[in-house]
Amino acid sequence: MKTLHTMALVSIASLGLIGGAHAQTAAKGTKAENVAKVTDADIRQLIESSFTSKGPATVEGVINQDATQKACSQYPDRTKVPTPLAKKVEAAELKQVKYPADSNFIGDWKEGEKIAQNGRGMQFSDQVGGVNGANCYACHQLTKAEISFGNIGPSLYHYGKLRGNSQDVVKYTWGKIWDSNAYSACSNMPRFGHKGILTEQQIRDVMALLLDPASPVNQ
């Protein structure tokens, strides 16, 4: 999550919106504070004139940041987020986690595996209101059989086998999927529930994939 300044700096420089010494400074790749004269209004205008909303991918989705996104955008390296800010972000996001009203946390792991494998959703070519995937394997190992997976996030293989299924583990796992920032400020992991990427039932199914003893994750 980068600031609007960082996202559009190169584009602005190339279009001549940064004048004089600031254009030369940007071209040399110095820090963003050296182009402080570029305002958010300038960048908003650039984005609005350069992009067109199509399907689920909207200009508003790029421009409008919530408080957490604005805070985290200041720190591209999430490991360098100051502790006071990290605690503030986590406390605020934890309050926004919505747990199942019926206390039914676990769904069908077979459906959860489909969701983990599905990387589609929220792109301009997708249908508005269509079903999204979680693309879990892009960042995590989950099963022994799947040999193609990313390592941005930790391995989740044997997740439930190692942690059990106590109430604390179940609530933590749900909260982490719903809003990753509730437990790790400025996490690279999407806020699947908070941002409406996954439905409550989809989260139940991913929960089953992680915690059900019969799931391939726990074999």
Give the global pTM: 0.79
Tell me the sheet residues that pair with 57: 54
Domains in the chain, CATH or no CATH each? 1-50 (no CATH), 109-218 (1.10.760.10)
- What does the pLDDT look like over 103-151, one tens digit per residue? 999 999 999 999 999 999 878 888 888 899 999 999 999 999 999 999 9
> DSSP letters of 82-142?
-HHHHHHHHHHHHTT----TT------HHHHHHHHH----SSTTSPTTPPPP--GGGT---
Six token digits for residue 1:
């999550």
- pLDDT tens per residue across span 38-96: 787 887 788 888 888 887 778 887 788 899 999 999 998 989 999 999 999 999 999 99
How does 101-132 read in b/e, with b if 16+ C-beta sit within 10 Å?
Answer: eeeebbbebebbbbbbebeebbeeebeeeeeb
